[in-house]
Each structure stands twice: as C-alpha cells, then as structure tokens.
Amino acid sequence: MSSKSTLQLALGPVLFFWSRDEILRFYAEAAQWPLDTVYLGEVVCARRQQVRTQEWISLAHDLADSGKEVVLSCQALLESETDLRRLRRLVENGRVHVEANDLGAARLARQQGLPFVAGPHLNIYNADTLALVQRLGAYRWVPRWRPSCTRCPRASRPGLRRYRPRSSPGG
C-alpha cells in the first residue's frame, strides 16, 4: 500500500524584533508568495508586542481570505494575566487554528473543542508525550529543530502530520 503526499510550503512566525510596519509589509508580500500555510504571531516575548492582538487576528483572517491556511502562533512562555488574556483572544478568534507553544494554549484550545498545532516550544521529546498532545487535540506537530535530534519521536501516529523546518543556510 503506497501513500501519495503533496509537498507543502509553510512560513513560520517572524522571530525577529521588527517594527509594526515591517511586520505588516512582510505579510502583505507573503500573501503573494506560493505558500500553503502561514504561521504568524508573537512567540518570543510579550514585551516585544509591536502588533496588537486584534491586528494579528485581522491579518490572519485577511491571509485566510487569500486562500492560505493560517495558524496564529501563541507565545512560548506565559507570565502574566495580560499574556493569558491575549492567548484567550487568539484561541477564540473564531476562524483559524492556533499553534500552541505553551500547554496553557493547548488547554484552552481543548476547552473550546478546537484542534491545534503543537508548536516547537512545547517540550515533546518522546512518543508518549506526542501521543498525549495528540489526545489533547493536536493535528500537527512542529518539532523543535535540533541538529542531532536522533531521539525525536517519530510522527507516525495516525492523524498527525509532521512539519520539520530545515536549517537556515549558515545556521
């Protein structure tokens, strides 16, 4: 039995500290690129919020209108009630999936009955943890990139698609 798969191209969230205008200009250009999936949102630090939560949601909806699968990436480390409020607004956006980079995001998505992407900032280092996250509602896993990840769990679980980012040139 052979399976036929289609190569898909995804753009991860911007990890750089860019101005609001640079971010909006970048995603306006990305809307024209031959991408299947666009991840967007602030995942590094709440203090770097150049784009407001509602703007991220509106941008996600605009990109979805252009025919792309859009995933709102949630912050990796939640530290305050403000971070939690922002997370709730992302999860409750009503239209696009979220990438959970914190178990709080996975929990909120599960409470809402929403499937989610298990992001690279979740600590998934074995098949049992991957299975647990899938039971919580993950439909895709984006593993953390490690140059020598020979012990990473295999994403051969039914219903779970794996996206593995490639290393950057010179990185």
Domain ranges in the chain are: 10-162
Give the chain's residues under pLDDT 50. 1-2, 165, 167-171
Largest CA distance in the chain: 51
Say whether domain 10-162 belongs to CATH 3.40.50.1780: no
Specify the pTM: 0.80
Q: Quick one: CA torsion of 67, 58, 100, 119, rounded to 10 degrees?
A: 50
* Distance (Å) of CA 68 to CA 8, 11, 43, 63: 11, 11, 20, 6
Query: Tell me, what's the pLDDT at 170?
Result: 46
Instruction: Identify the pLDDT of residue 48.
Output: 83
- Of 103, 77, 76, 109, the C-alpha closest to 90 is 109
- Confidence (pLDDT) at 160: 59
Query: What is the pLDDT at residue 79?
Result: 86
